[in-house]
Chain A
Amino acid sequence: DTEVTQTPKHLVMGMTNKKSLKCEQHMGHRAMYWYKQKAKKPPELMFVYSYEKLSINESVPSRFSPECPNSSLLNLHLHALQPEDSALYLCASSQLWSGTDTQYFGPGTRLTVL
Chain B
Amino acid sequence: QKEVEQNSGPLSVPEGAIASLNCTYSDRGSQSFFWYRQYSGKSPELIMFIYSNGDKEDGRFTAQLNKASQYVSLLIRDSQPSDSATYLCAVAGGTSYGKLTFGQGTILTVHP
Q: Which of B41, B44, B98, B105 contacts A99 (CB 8 A)?
A: B98
Instruction: Give the chain A neighbours of B92 by CB distance below 8 A.
Output: 99-101
A-B contact count (CB 8 A): 57
Contact B43 A90 (CB under 8 A): yes
Most A CB within 10 A of own CB, among B34, B43, B46, B104: B43
Question: What is the interface of chain B, defined by CB distance below 8 A to chain A?
Answer: 31-32, 34, 36, 41-46, 49, 51, 88, 92-93, 97-100, 102-105
Prevailing SS type, chain A contact patch: loop
Docked-complex contact A42 and B103, CB < 8 angstroms: yes
Determine whether the beta carbon of A99 is less than 8 Å from that of B93: yes
Residue numbers of A with Cβ under 8 A of B are 2, 40-43, 45, 48, 50, 55-56, 88, 90, 97-108, 110
- In the complex with contacts A99-B92, A100-B31, A100-B32, A45-B43 CB distance below 8 A: no
The residue in chain A whose Cβ has the minimal distance to the Cβ of B88 is: A42
In the complex, what residue of chain B is closest to A41 when comparing beta carbons? B104
CB proximity of B79 to chain A, nearest CB, Å? 22
Determine the distance from Cα of A48 to Cα of B42 in the docked complex, in whole angstroms: 21
Can you name the residue of chain A whose Cβ is closest to the Cβ of B104?
Answer: A42
Whether the pair B103, A106 counts as a contact (CB closer than 8 A) is: no
